[in-house]
Chains A and B, each alone.
Chain A
Amino acid sequence: MPRRAMVKIKPRRYKKGDIVTVATVIMHPMETGMRKDKKTGKVIPAHYITDVEVYYGDERVTYMKTTSGLSANPFIAFKLKVDKAAPLKIIWKDNKGDVTEKVVKIRV
């Protein structure tokens, strides 16, 4: 099931060769597997994002290995040097096999 995700590039206007900030948010509970349901007393099973990959064109530019130590609805921001017009694809994978993709176009 694809999840809601958002990708923003700051600043909005950029030139070729600039280093921009790519800010991403995905809606995800990030359960640690240690929390208990208050009503039933049962442990909520772990459910969190394990990998975040960023492709710029065909090239993988960034890789992130994450654990349940990230907050719910994780926000991740990183830098990117924009030097070509190509799609920027961000892929989130979680420990239940869910894969979410989001593509934004870089125009320079």
Chain B
Amino acid sequence: MNRRSFLKTTAVAASLAAVAPIVNVKSAKADENKFKEALNKITGGKTPKTSSDVKLVAPNIAENGAVVPIKASVNLPVEQVKAIHVFAKDNPNPYVFSFYPTTQNGEAFISTRIKLAKTTEVYAVAELNDGTFLQAFKKVKVTIGGCG
């Protein structure tokens, strides 16, 4: 390799490195918007309040993003709870599922396994019958992503 071609390649590499962070910031912003959109679809534009009545159990570190066990419950009488919605903030499709309990359930509790694409916050949003939204969230570190 002569000097000229070496300089050329390093220049290209340097410019690429300069461009890369900008791209990353953009995609992160798109994820944020996607999550807000999905949340607004459920809440109708309301912002959920963070509350200790909503309990979300998830691992701190998930080795396999394809199978992340989570438990979500609401510490209120089940008559008051209309639904529990779960979101994974940085997933390509942030909305994961909604759970609608009735009085026959006895407790507003759901346990399942979800996919996480990368390290992200998992949100559990409880919808109450009086129209208020409460939330709890937890950051889960993902070693291997599970969204294909």
Chain A interface (Cβ < 8 Å from any Cβ of B): 19, 30, 32, 34-36, 56, 59-72, 74-81
Contact = CB atoms under 8 A, between A and B. Distances in A.
Given A64-B98, A64-B100, A77-B112, A72 B106 contact: no
B112 A75 contact: yes
Interface in B98-120: 98-107, 109-115
B111 A71 contact: no
Interface stretch (B2-10, B14-22, B87-95, B128-136): B87-95
Nearest to B112: A76
A83 to B, nearest CB: 8
Contact of B147 (A34, A66, A78): A34
Given A56-B104, A70-B112, A81-B104, A64 B148 contact: no
Contacts of A76: 110-112
Given A67-B96, A71-B114, A35 B109 contact: no
If over half of A's interface residues share one DSSP class (helix, strand or loop), that class is named, otherwise mixed; here it is strand
A77 to B, nearest CB: 4
Contacts of A60: 102
Interface residues of B, number: 30
Nearest to B103: A81
B68 interface: yes
Interface of B: 66-68, 88, 91-93, 95-107, 109-115, 146-148
B6 to A, nearest CB: 35
B106 A19 contact: yes
A30 to B, nearest CB: 8
A63 B100 contact: yes
Q: Which of B106, B110, B146: most chain A Cβ within 10 A?
A: B106
Contacts of B147: 32, 34
A61 B96 contact: no
